[in-house]
Amino acid sequence: MNVREVTLNFNHSKTTVIATIERALDLQKGSLGENSSSAEYNSWDSLGQVDIILALDVLFDGKVNAIPEMADANSVPKIIDVLIRHLLLS
Q: What is the pLDDT of residues 26-73, one digit of tens each?
A: 999 999 999 999 999 999 999 999 999 999 999 999 999 999 999 999
Determine the pLDDT at residue 10.
53
* 75 φ/ψ angles, rounded to the nearest 5 degrees: -155, 160
Residue 6 has pLDDT above 80, yes or no: no
User: Residue range 3-10: average pLDDT?
Assistant: 45
| Spatial CA neighbour of 21 closest among 62, 75, 82, 71 | 75
Residue 75 bridge partners (DSSP): 37
Residue 37 bridge partners (DSSP): 75
Determine the pLDDT at residue 11.
67
SS3 (DSSP) at 12: coil
Determine the pLDDT at residue 90.
87
Residues 6+ apart with CB under 8 A from 57: 63, 64, 65
